[in-house]
Structure 1
Amino acid sequence: MVQSQDSSLQRTGVTFAAELAFEDIHLHYGDVHTLKGISLVAKPGEILCLLGPSGSGKTSLLRLAAGLEEQSSGRVRMNGRVIAGDNVFTPPEKRSVGLMFQDFALFPHMTILDNVRFGLRSMSAADTNREALAAIRRVGLEHHLNSYPHVLSGGEQQRVALARALAPRPSVILMDEPFSGLDTRLKDSVRAETLAILRETRATAIVVTHDAEEAMRMGDRIALLDHGEIIQAGTAHEIYHAPRNLFVAGFFSELNVFSSTCRGGVTETPLGTFDCAGRPDGTPVSVAVRTVGLDVRAPGEGGIPGRVVSRRFLGVTENLVLAVPGTDQPVRARIRADELPAGIRDVTIYVRPGDIMLFESDAENA
């Protein structure tokens, strides 16, 4: 069935998604070893999130993929072909890669239409206009064709940057903290719109973020980096439920952490006694309990007695700070708002087994 002209203009052109692979990537800035043997594959049509704290190497890896920098050693491949490494370097404009910067990098002296047309200069004038208009319409900004960036909101500027990156129909699109400049109210809606557009175009996407929830919302897979190394990679479900170490667990959820020792197949903490079978007696462990894994109720049978030190209403949830016997360390809990009666001080705490994690303290292996 042939689509009408208007209908086709509402859709972003579908690309031929590529596989992008990093093989044993090392990057040095003088004496600083920024990337340390990164090996990672973004599969065709996949959204891969690079997650990690500032300085972990996320943006450096993105810049290598874009061709804005050269690695010290290792190879970057697209669909099996080396595009960087082994005395090969394909310039950015020949990689079929779209890049969306954190600050959007729009040209202030150009209209929105001209900004989006900028990356289409190798096409004829008619093709350039058609592709630019299609991209702008798809992000819902056709009424701003002749506007300049300064009159647009942050969310609108983000959509222009996305349209410009997608207009040439790249096989891979690279996005560096694309939502960090948006306020909280806009972020969810713009992120959902962006995700829908990426799915529609079917391009392979690599998204850099420092926000674990954002990575879980967007990514088919997540690679968590720290100090230039991949600490763990997998789906959000895999990483959340089977974190490799305490760093990974703490990046994906708020934790209460207690130092303890395995004795007789169990370890004791202020929140109860937990199984550590299979570890020799005397093994030091860190016991991590997610703040969402604590059920706090009015005094009742069983559980751990506690006292509310403070509570903060956050709309859907409440954050509690609790005092429990056997430790001066405050225990934090996140519960549904209004589940606990107002003004109550003495409570009983129950721990959900699925939110308890044990890590050996010396190597922090789960």
Structure 2
Amino acid sequence: MKNGEAQTASRVTAGVTFAARLAFENICHSFGPEAETLRDVSLAAEPGEVLCLLGPSGSGKTTLLRIAAGIESQSTGRVLLNDREIAGPSVFLPPEKRSIGLVFQDFALFPHLTILDNVRFGLTALSGEEARREALIALSRVGLEHYAGSYPHVLSGGEQQRVALARALAPRPAVLLMDEPFSGLDSRLKDNVRAETLAILRESRATAIVVTHDAEEAMRMADRIALLRDGRLVQSGRAEELYLSPANLFAAGFFSELNVFDGRVANGVVDTPVGKIPSPDIADGAKATVAVRLTGFEVSETEGEIEARILSRRFLGVVELLEFAVSGAEKPVRARIRCGALSAKARDIWLSLRKSDVLLFETQRESA
């Protein structure tokens, strides 16, 4: 690559043509009568936003992504791009006609092609010179134009991920789909590459749907999060909505480690080993589940509400992870506390609940 080409590429604005709304309407999918993977999922990614599909393995995240890309067909329901049906009972557009880019989990770079040729691989509708120019623009966007003549094996994992992103952005798609794009990176590199990727997505203005099983990653990246379980949409919304007001115990547990206590409402409260929890919205006599985040305890060696004995403590840097024995609790109670909050010799201590970290659910309604 000549220096002049890199300079030309860096001066060109490489924004997408438009940001689209991608909507799923009542999507069902199965691999047979006994293998239902998606169950009546309705969800939309709004123009220019980053939507994260979050959930455990087998929840249907990747299948939903493949349906959007046109790699998989839904059993019933529709996929719409800016309110135009691209997959449904009456139409099925092939992947190349959808203006949707896809970044695979393993990057899927061609080892025998240069970085530049990898990026321009899908630009078949352009002339050779136009394709080269657009590929250079995309490489410049991810800061790798100086590797245009190199081959994938000389790049680090993070650099290969950025090349895959450049290749997906080169055709200027209306929607970009990313399937666990950071799962192959080590934890320190992952933070940097994720931040770079998010900056590139914001700059390109493409609507993006990112699949992940990591709740913290979803909170770092997403404008909105859609939480899936067993092919169903459990809850969607902004990160703080899902964290502060989870729809059920599953949603709460996906965003926080929890201590869980089962009880029954009596006189407007649930009596647990760590205190009486007000339950104004659950009828007396109903079964209830109380969940307390590990950050939900204040600790003291002199005063508090509940007596506890320390069973173990692990130093984790800024915080300590503690296990306590509490009267009436069948299992040890766990907590994360600030280092230095207790002396090294502390054993018998007092706990107090932080009410903002206590969640209450009616047990019989906990179905998802």
TM-score bracket relative to the smaller structure: over 0.9
Cα distance, 1:278 vs structure 2 = 3.9
- Partner SS state of residue 320, structure 2: strand
Aligned to 1:205: 208
Q: Aligned partners of 1:122, 1:348: CA distance in 2, in Å?
A: 70
Q: Aligned partners of 2:11, 2:131: CA distance in 1, in Å?
A: 14
- The within-5 A match list for 1:55-94 is 55-94=58-97
Measured on the aligned residues, the alpha-carbon RMSD in Å equals 1.7
Aligned to 1:244: 247
- Partner SS state of residue 362, structure 1: helix
Q: Aligned partners of 1:8, 1:319: CA distance in 2, in Å?
A: 48
**Residues 343 and 6 of structure 1: CA distance in aligned 2, closer, same or farther (over 3 Å):** farther
Q: Letter of the 1:338 partner, please give it.
A: G
Q: Deviations over 1:317-356 (max 9, x none)?
A: 2211111122231111112233322232222212111111
Tell whether the 8 Å contact from 2:249 to 2:361 is kept in structure 1 after alignment: yes
Cα distance, 1:187 vs structure 2 = 0.8
Tell whether the 8 Å contact from 1:58 to 1:225 is kept in structure 2 after alignment: yes
Cα distance, 1:206 vs structure 2 = 0.3
Tell whether the 8 Å contact from 1:11 to 1:138 is kept in structure 2 after alignment: no
Aligned to 1:132: 135
**Counterpart selection for 1:291 from 279, 289, 294:** 294
Cα distance, 1:5 vs structure 2 = 5.8
> Is residue 333 of structure 2 the alignment partner of residue 308 of structure 1?
no
Q: Letter of the 1:130 partner, please give it.
A: R
Cα distance, 1:132 vs structure 2 = 0.8
> Is residue 123 of structure 2 the alignment partner of residue 112 of structure 1?
no
Question: Any unmatched runs of 5+ in structure 1?
Answer: none
Cα distance, 1:280 vs structure 2 = 2.5
**Counterpart selection for 1:15 from 1, 14, 17:** 17
Q: Aligned partners of 2:188, 2:156: CA distance in 1, in Å?
A: 13
Cα distance, 1:304 vs structure 2 = 1.4
- The within-5 A match list for 1:1-366 is 8-9=10-11, 12-31=14-33, 32-297=35-300, 299-364=301-366
Cα distance, 1:225 vs structure 2 = 0.4
Q: Deviations over 1:223-273 (max 9, x none)?
A: 100111101111111111111110000001110000111111111111111
The TM-score with structure 1 as length reference comes to 0.95
Q: Aligned partners of 1:147, 1:99: CA distance in 2, in Å?
A: 23
Tell whether the 8 Å contact from 2:298 to 2:351 is kept in structure 1 after alignment: yes
Question: Any unmatched runs of 5+ in structure 2?
Answer: 1-5
**Residues 339 and 140 of structure 1: CA distance in aligned 2, closer, same or farther (over 3 Å):** farther
Cα distance, 1:172 vs structure 2 = 0.1
Identity of aligned residues (%): 64
Cα distance, 1:365 vs structure 2 = 8.0
Cα distance, 1:276 vs structure 2 = 1.1
Tell whether the 8 Å contact from 1:51 to 1:58 is kept in structure 2 after alignment: yes
Q: Aligned partners of 1:319, 1:329: CA distance in 2, in Å?
A: 16
Q: Letter of the 2:232 partner, please give it.
A: E
Tell whether the 8 Å contact from 1:14 to 1:200 is kept in structure 2 after alignment: no
Tell whether the 8 Å contact from 1:12 to 1:197 is kept in structure 2 after alignment: no
Tell whether the 8 Å contact from 2:282 to 2:362 is kept in structure 1 after alignment: no
Tell whether the 8 Å contact from 2:10 to 2:140 is kept in structure 1 after alignment: no
- Partner SS state of residue 118, structure 1: coil
**Residues 265 and 365 of structure 1: CA distance in aligned 2, closer, same or farther (over 3 Å):** farther
- Partner SS state of residue 365, structure 2: coil
Aligned length in residues? 362
Tell whether the 8 Å contact from 2:116 to 2:135 is kept in structure 1 after alignment: yes
Cα distance, 1:136 vs structure 2 = 1.0
Q: Aligned partners of 1:15, 1:332: CA distance in 2, in Å?
A: 51
Tell whether the 8 Å contact from 2:115 to 2:147 is kept in structure 1 after alignment: yes
Q: Aligned partners of 1:8, 1:156: CA distance in 2, in Å?
A: 18
**Residues 295 and 156 of structure 1: CA distance in aligned 2, closer, same or farther (over 3 Å):** same
